[in-house]
Structure 1
Amino acid sequence: MSDIIRLLPDHVANQIAAGEVVQRPASVVKELLENAIDADAREISLIVKDSGKTLIQVIDDGKGMSTMDARMAFERHATSKIQSADELFNLSTKGFRGEALASVAAVSHVTIKTKRPEDDLGTTISIEGSKVIAQEPAVAPVGTTVSVRNLFYNVPARRKFLKSDNVELRNVTNEFHRVALAHPKIHFKFSHNGSDLFNLPAGTYRQRIVNVMGHKVDDKLVEIKEETELLNIHGYIGKPEYARKTKGLQYFFVNDRFIKHSYLHHAVSSAFEGLLSQGSNPSYFLFLDVPPDSVDINIHPTKTEVKFEDEHSLYAIIRASVKHALGQFTINTIDFQKDTELDVPYEVSRSAIKSPRIEVDPDFNPFNDTGSSRKVHQHIQKPAGSWESLYAGLDDTSVLHDETVTSPRNSTSLFNDDVEQTGSSIFQLQRKFIISTLQSGLLVINQHRAHERVLYEQLLRQLTVQNGVSQQLLFPVKINRSPDEVDIVKQLQSQLESVGFLFGIIENNVIEIQGLPLDLKEPQVEPLLDVVIKSEQEQVPQQQDAQLQRMAAQLAGQMAIKTGEQLRVEQMQQVIDELFACEEPALSPAGKKVFITITGDTLSSKFDH
């Protein structure tokens, strides 16, 4: 029997390796930017076309490469960063595997032009699918320019699974942010299809965060700085009141390398315990400096997952540092000149607010001594001999026990405070359920889910026929978000306008809203946009119908009547009427039960025991 195990050809091995290192255009951007940083560049430009599918070009002014180095850089496991296995545990550079450029060249057309300061001429090399097509001397500035064209041209299956241009550009932008935030002393530029997206001059960490995320972020940052034997931590955390539903502004950097670490993220989140509402996420830009030999960054090809030698101690330090920074911020914001006598007492502020009730006796007639009013007046009518007689008898306790006038505290009723009495066959229970009588029994409706179903079907029709009605705002609302989140809103602009939104400026870091759907209140706008953005960031590719249904469900969930909201009889009746005019009244958009019926037989069975 002949041998069946053979060595793979180099170009096949490179394509397999590329599957680990090069997953999408953003992967190429990350590797090329990190190589430019390792070359001690002071200015780096990223040029992208068609979200990286057509062109990814990185230009740096670093130290360049010799002719031999430029050729060797595209060989597998060729690197200038390490010489022995021991150095894997004491790394201070970015690219050290020696696989990135070889993997990129295996699935694209690559051209590199490079020159060292001491050389008169530079070198140009062209590679297609791991094969060197040309190599020749060239006039070039000091530094290196790498151009990657037609990514995955020879692996159509990989290219087919790339997402839309908007999604891929978002991933490229995220990688650019991660690298740029970690190196504020380097001047970064980024352009896409000829348009300049970012121009980030060298500066401090705070300046870089503000330039990337927008100027309004500056007022929301609290500085954090701690130095210990195990860890030096510096950076910024977001003020609790600016926490959002999305997780976009959460960045961990270890030795100037972006990482993802759920355990350390929990340390930050736990420090915010009690300061954030449910579902809100803290924002942070934290830079950790640890000894290189205490962290292993070689456990994953993307190098975003790392392993620390003493994670438990780092957890405690990070949590304590964030708590300390929050404590300092809280102390600095206390108003010691405030008149505490004007504060609402705690027990009052925590109690439920009840609307005052006005009770009117329809039979009362001040000119008639008969009827119900006479029973009250007979206790207080005295001979009008003096003005004191007008008040005589008011201390008579019999008034309080009269069969007509009773004290609210001592009165009993079939309804307690959880039941809103309306004098109608419809009433509200616990400000959560709408109860209505039927011939066969009772109808119990979940008010939030019912209104959610009504709005869902209305919004879905508006998204389909583009006929949403808007309410114009007297003063436009301006919301500050990161550029990639603003880009998501810009992509969804036509769909949001079809349900009633009116937009002004949508660019850079600002979303200006000039009009809202009729059922949407102004305080709901920002949380609603956060939900839409988060869903779009986490979505998988869907057909148009499914995408519209998802958006309608998100909008309806935010706009619907909430549990705890008191309704008038007319409002409850309207919800009932509109619910049973829906195509699917029994289920909410999430598939949950909207109402139940309780028959008379069911009630009778409760009294059989």
Structure 2
Amino acid sequence: MGKIRILPDLLASKIAAGEVVERPASVVKELVENALDAGSRRIQIEVELGGKRLVRVTDDGEGMTRDDALLAFERHATSKIAALEDLERIATLGFRGEALPSIAAVARVLLRTKTAAELVGTEVEIEGGKIKEVRDCAWAGGTEVCVRDLFFNVPARRKFLKSEATEVFHITNLVTHYALCYPQVAFRLQHGGRTLLDVTPVEAVRDRAYQIFGADFLAHVVELEHAQEGIRIHGFASKPNWGRTTREAQYFFVNGRYVRDRVLAQALGESYRTLLPSGTHPAAILFVELPPSEVDVNVHPAKIEVRFRRPLQVQAAIIEAVRRALERARPVVEIGRAVPFARERASAVRSERALHREALRLQAPLTPATPRQSPLALTFSPKSAPEAARPHPEASPDRPPISPQCLARPSLEATVEGEEAERIRVIGQFRRSFILAATERELLLIDQHAAHERILFERFRERLAREALPTQPILVPEVIELTPAQHAIFESVREELGRLGIEVGEFSGRALVVTALPTDVPVSEARPFILELLEIAEQERRTASPERLRDRLAASLACRAAVKINTPLTEPMMQWLVEELFRASFPASCPHGRPVVVRFTLREIERLFHR
């Protein structure tokens, strides 16, 4: 007897379902696409326990007859294509006839549907791929698919699902994509009875972007509209001074289909190659329209990958569309003002600002200080420096020096210990950003911001392991409107934010009210600080490591609280920074990996003078 055998239909269905149904978001995707193909104008999605317990999608589309409702659960049964040639001109989101049978094979499914011509609806109940019952039902019209207990019969797949918060994020992100692509359709997404997204029909993508992302997004993007070689590109792309640390704010659509495609992502990145710093990515809502025969959507059963017949031409069209839009929106620059993210190599001050998201602003000093400058400090003061060596125009303006009490808050005071710290003598400050110090045989150049950042980071991290950080109430609470995806992330890290000293209440919808901040963060930075923390949490959600997330949150707080560049420091202040830095566990680098200290040995200095 041979070894090769034909698999039972039920087993084959479960295997095939693995390609289509990866997680609850896959179920939502297939059901939403079916609803859109049915001409729906209103789609409601309800999920429970991240979609593991329940996914319910209800639409007001054309519905199905009883015969069609039964055939819909047969593999490779579809109304969207009939011949091989139809694959060359697919205009619908679904066409394989695999979605419903794949979902039904690994879940308990209840379908209710009715066409406008019928008097009663049809209800079909399926469990694990087997039809349990078919009956008449009272139904207004359209279709509702209720999917319960996903992977109940495939425990190996169920245990690989992520946390509830992660699955909700994927679902929210997916629905956001379709809401952007179909602005004329109303979408409502609810999780556990709570509304995460609720948008009414509008005419234009701009209006839908406003509904989801708010006015701040539209203020930082330019509109795209370009066509060449039969390829039309339209949508929105961010201005060069509004970069993101991840690509999560990039939304790509091809002929009305949400896709993840490297060709499109590379083209968008190339458009900003000389405009954004390394590690920074643009935000974009990008629509590509071209003849159906020019793109293959039958690459993978999930239909989220595509293959272009002319990928280079598609990339060229995107690059041209983005660059033309950015040129049209280029602001008039005053003479003597620096251009954000200029093509030339950025100065050290500008790089610092880019690294810390334009947030290098100084808190008001608690007490005034009148530093006693050493001769070297006077020699390198900004007033005596040549014009070319003056601080960058975009750096922080002149501010009064801050006192040691402002930098060394009571909770962070420490006595001077350690032989190495005692041997280091502060000489002065260079360009209000770097501390010059010396030992008997070395000259040290210390980045004051990075040094303070390292000191605060280690103390914040140590304290967070034991208790929550102290807070400062906000007299006028800050209201922050979040996107659906940001709100899902917030729910997953609410406890960690509380430990960080952030107190947040619900306002309405996706709006948050910040009522308290860590004592080291200025109230003026509440909004960028919260959004930065959510972006960090989104990046770390794949690692599932609370310690790593806590470290990154502590690093962000340390960056906000640390003394900024272009800030005059008193001599006691500089001495305090140096002493505390060399008591830190890793004084050589800041929490983000940048060097803190540059050393010049006596021998290296002597060589410079040919001694």
TM-score if structure 1 supplies the norm length? 0.78
Shift, 1:573, TM fit: 1.4
Equivalent-residue separation in structure 2 for 1:360 and 1:564 (angstroms): 18
Q: Quote how far apart the aligned CAs of 1:317 are.
A: 2.3
1:286 and 1:25 map into 2 onto residues whose CA distance is 26
Q: Are the equivalent residues in 2 in contact too, given 1:48–1:192 (CA < 8 A)? A: yes
After TM superposition, give the deviation of residue 25 of structure 1 in Å.
0.4
The residue type equivalent to 1:283 in the other structure is A
Partner of 1:372: none
Identity of aligned residues (%): 37
Equivalent AA in structure 2 for residue 533 of structure 1 = L
1:501-580 equivalences under 5 Å are: 501-503=502-504, 508-521=509-522, 528-539=529-540, 540-561=542-563, 567-580=569-582
Aligned-residue offset at 1:598: 6.9
Does the CA contact (< 8 Å) of 1:433 and 1:447 recur in 2?
Answer: yes
Deviation at 1:548, TM superposition (A): 2.1
SS at match of 1:97: coil
Alpha carbons of structure 1 residues 565 and 300: separation in structure 2 relative to 1, 3 Å:
farther
Which consecutive residues of structure 2, in runs of 5 or more, have no partner in the other structure?
340-345, 350-369, 392-423
Query: In the aligned structure 2, how far is the partner of 1:597 from the partner of 1:164?
Result: 47
Q: Quick one: which amino acid aligns to residue 198 of structure 1?
A: L
| CA deviation string 1:227-246 (max 9, x = no partner) | 44512233233344444434
3-state secondary structure, aligned to 1:169: helix
Q: Establish whether residue 325 from structure 1 lines up as the match of residue 322 from structure 2.
A: no
Contact 1:245 1:530 in 2 (8 A): no
Query: Is residue 61–residue 143 contact of structure 2 (8 Å, CA) maintained in 1?
Result: yes
Amino acid aligned to 1:453? R
2:29, 2:157 → 1: CA distance? 19
Q: Which residue of 2 aligns with 1:371?
A: none
Task: Tell me the amino acid that sits aligned with residue 542 of structure 1.
Answer: A
With over 3 angstroms needed to count, the CA separation of the structure-2 counterparts of 1:218 and 1:591, relative to structure 1, is: closer
TM-aligned CA distance change 1:586 to 1:293, over 3 Å: closer
CA RMSD of aligned residues (A): 3.9
Unaligned runs of 5+ in 1: 362-405
Question: In the alignment, which residue of structure 1 is the partner of 2:168?
Answer: 169
- CA-to-aligned-CA distance 1:486-535 (integer Å, 9 cap, x gap): 33234434433433434455654544445443443567555544443333
The 8 Å contact of residues 54 and 146 in structure 2, kept in 1 or not, is answered as: yes
Alpha-carbon distance change, 226 to 50 in structure 1, aligned in 2, over 3 angstroms: same
SS in 1 for 2:103: helix
Report SS of the residue matched to 1:110: strand
User: What CA distance in whole angstroms lies between the structure 1 residues aligned with 2:593 and 2:347?
Assistant: 34
- Tell me the CA shift for residue 285 of structure 1: 1.8
- CA shift for structure 1 position 55: 0.7
SS at match of 1:492: helix
Measured after TM superposition, the shift of residue 88 of structure 1 is: 1.5
Aligned to 1:292: 292
- SS in structure 2 at match of 1:144: strand
Q: Tell me what 2:200 maps to.
A: 201
Decide whether aligned partners of structure 1 residues 601 and 12 sit closer, same or farther in structure 2, where only a CA change above 3 A counts.
same
Q: How far is 1:604 from its partner?
A: 8.2
Match of 1:11 in 2: 10
Of the two structures, which has the highest relative contact order with CA contacts closer than 8 Å and spacing of 6 or more?
A: 2
How much has 1:95 moved relative to structure 2? 1.2
Q: CA deviation at 1:148?
A: 0.3
The question of 1:37 aligning with 2:39 is answered no
Paired position in structure 2 for 1:155: 154
**Change beyond 3 A, Cα 1:604–1:288:** closer
Q: Answer whether contact 1:588 1:594 (CA < 8 A) is retained.
A: yes
Native 8 Å contact 1:224 1:236 kept in 2: yes
**Corresponding residue of 2:63:** 64
Letter in 1 for 2:539: E
Q: Structure 2 matches for 1:475-486, cutoff 5 A?
A: 476-486=477-487
Q: Partners of 2:465 and 2:8 in 1: how far apart?
A: 53
CA contact (8 A) 2:437 2:444 kept: yes
Q: Report deviation, 1:163.
A: 1.2
Q: Secondary structure at the match of 2:133?
A: strand
The answer to whether the 8 Å contact 2:426/2:574 transfers is no
1:605 and 1:272 map into 2 onto residues whose CA distance is 43
1:492 paired residue number: 493
How far is 1:599 from its partner? 7.0
2: CA distance, partners of 1:228 / 1:599: 60
Change (3 A) 1:507 1:463: farther
The 3 A distance-change label for structure 1 pair 575 and 295 is same
Match of 1:311 in 2: 311
The separation in 1 between residues aligned to 2:597 and 2:328, in whole angstroms, is 50
Q: Deviations over 1:446-492 (max 9, x none)?
A: 54543233111221234234442345556555544422213323443
- Of 115-124 and 100-109, more deviation after overlay is shown by 115-124
* In structure 1, distance between residues paired with 2:302 and 2:251: 16
Q: Which amino acid aligns with 2:248?
A: G
Q: Structure 2 vs 1, CA of residues 176 and 467 (structure 1 numbering), >3 Å: closer, same or farther? A: closer
Identify which range, 496-505 or 230-239, moves more after superposition: 496-505
Contact 2:425 2:575 in 1 (8 A): no
Instruction: List per-residue Cα deviations over 1:200-240 (Å, max 9, x = no partner).
Output: 22211222222222344344443332344512233233344
| Cα offset, 1:287, TM superposition | 2.1
In the alignment, structure 1 residue 84 sits paired with structure 2 residue 83: yes
Q: Measure the CA separation in 2 of the matches of 1:317 and 1:590.
A: 37
Residues 1:494 and 1:218: Cα distance change in structure 2 (over 3 Å): same
How far apart are the structure 2 equivalents of 1:140 and 1:178?
29
1:260-286 Cα offsets, whole Å, 9 max, x none, are 233333433444455545544322222
- Rounded to whole Å, the distance in 1 between the matches of 2:348 and 2:266 is 34
Q: Given the two structures, how large is their TM-score scaled by the length of structure 2?
A: 0.77
How far 1:251 moved relative to its partner?
1.4
Q: What residue in structure 1 maps to residue 256 of structure 2?
A: 256
Provide the rounded CA distance (Å) in 2 between the counterparts of 1:357 and 1:425. 13
Is this contact kept in 2: 1:108–1:150, CA < 8 A?
Answer: yes
Q: Matches of residues 358-369 of structure 1 in structure 2 within 5 Å?
A: none
Tell me if the contact between 2:373 and 2:428 (Cα under 8 Å) persists in the aligned partners: no
Q: CA deviation at 1:312?
A: 2.0
Residues in 1 aligned to 2:157 and 2:87: alpha-carbon distance in whole angstroms: 31
Shift of 1:329: 2.9
Q: Take 2:563 and 2:63, find their aligned partners in 1: how far apart are those partners? A: 63
In structure 2, the residue matched to 1:23 is 22
Cα distance in 1 for residues equivalent to 2:5 and 2:114: 40
- AA matched with 1:181: L
Q: Indicate the larger mover: 541-550 or 49-58.
A: 541-550
C-alpha distance in 2 between matches for 1:102 and 1:291: 30
Larger Rg: 1
Judged with a 3 Å threshold, the aligned counterparts in structure 2 of structure 1 residues 9 and 600 are, in CA distance, closer, same or farther, namely: same
Contact 1:214-1:509 at 8 Å conserved across structures: no
* Counterpart code for 2:178: V
